[in-house]
Amino acid sequence: MAHVAAFLREQGAKALVIACNTATVAACADLRQRYPDWPIVAMEPAVKPAASATRNGKVGVLATTGTLQSARFAALLDQFASDVQVFTQPCPGLVELIETGKLHSPALLRLLQGYLGPLLEAGCDTLILGCTHYPFLRPLLATLLPPDMVLIDTGAAVARQAHRLLSQHVMLSEEGEGKVQYWTSGAPKALQAVLPALGCEPGPVCLLPV
């Protein structure tokens, strides 16, 4: 993670968003210590807004195993969810299927149904999408969940925080819309192929030289 951050900083990135809950747990503290003058936006499951949104006091969480087992997640529960019941569901394999771009495949549907089952049986009325991959599943989730189920993710809050930090550091661009550049540690052609399915803005995809 440190090598990736250093590379992005060399490219002139004015800020860094660690768009992964698990990566935040693993690397955020170290990166903030290493780059005290660089705005860094971290990610965490939206426990606080979910606890406020639930009507029956039952909140479900879909997340990676690493996130659910982290001390940071436990601290969030202690701080914001003492008055509600939180039902956690680790989702191994879900990220890998989302990254294929086949967001309505039978395999993805079966896996997601299996993960949602215990949360629905528990009566959860609010669901935290505790991984930055999972918002791509919103259209599919709409077909599997009760219409009054509240879905919570941190995308909008993270965007607001990034804007606030850039403004605070007088780094907001005044040149209109920027350009999109993708870097990947995987296969550039594979990522290029799935960008349209994920609703991402098109742009060049390059291999990370780290």
User: Average pLDDT, whole number, for the chain?
Assistant: 92
High-pLDDT (> 90) share of the chain, %: 78
Mean pLDDT for 71-94 is 94
Q: Does the annotation mark 20 as catalytic? A: yes
Q: Which of 28, 91, 124, 131 is catalytic?
A: 131
pTM: 0.89
Q: Which of 20, 28, 91, 124 is catalytic?
A: 20
Mean pLDDT for 190-206 is 91
Please state, in angstroms and as integers, the Cα–Cα distance from residue 8 to each residue in 18, 20, 64, 165, 182, following that order. Answer: 12, 16, 25, 17, 11
Mean pLDDT for 147-156 is 94
> Going from the N-terminus, what domains does the chain have, and what CATH number goes with each?
2-43+156-207 (3.40.50.1860), 47-153 (3.40.50.1860)
Task: Identify the band that residue 208 occupies on the pLDDT scale cut at 50, 70 and 90.
Answer: very high
pLDDT value for 105: 94
And the tokens for 133? 């991959």
